[in-house]
A = this chain, B = another copy of it.
């Protein structure tokens, strides 16, 4: 499965560590930048670049991971795009709920609080929890797609 990664300067090191983790667990990583630590790297461009490529992938199981300092800029930017359901997760319960209930396809992370082990647990849960597909969940996702 392809995982698209994007980060600004604050998330750069996390992104490198996550890429190594994903590669070691046999995911195919597509790094959409930033490719260096540059304080002028703005989160909206990396969010847009990453989710645009995700939306162009016909595999419905493809996912993206976006990282910035607080994670908030990324979750704002990614959710601008129809078809993107970006969740900002700080524990495994939120990762599980956002996949199970909301069929989240983009995991956003803050680079400020989580240990490497916690990040890996959140990513593992996110990538290994299926959408439950209950009628009420499907109805809510359809309503989401109808919002401006």
Q: Which residues of A contact B (CB under 8 A)?
A: 39-40, 42-45, 47-48, 69-73, 75-82, 85-88, 90, 93-94, 97-98, 101-102, 104, 110, 112-113, 136, 139-140, 143-144, 146-148
Contact = CB atoms under 8 A, between A and B. Distances in A.
A148 B76 contact: no
Given A94-B70, A112-B93, A144 B76 contact: yes
6 contacts: A44-B146, A70-B97, A73-B102, A75-B87, A78-B79, A80-B80
Tell me if A's interface is mostly helix, strand, loop or mixed: mixed
Contact of A98 (B70, B113, B143): B70
Given A42-B140, A140-B42, A86 B82 contact: no
B77 A94 contact: no
Given A72-B97, A98-B70, A98-B72, A43 B140 contact: yes
A68 to B, nearest CB: 9
Given A110-B94, A139-B42, A148 B72 contact: no
Contacts of A48: 147
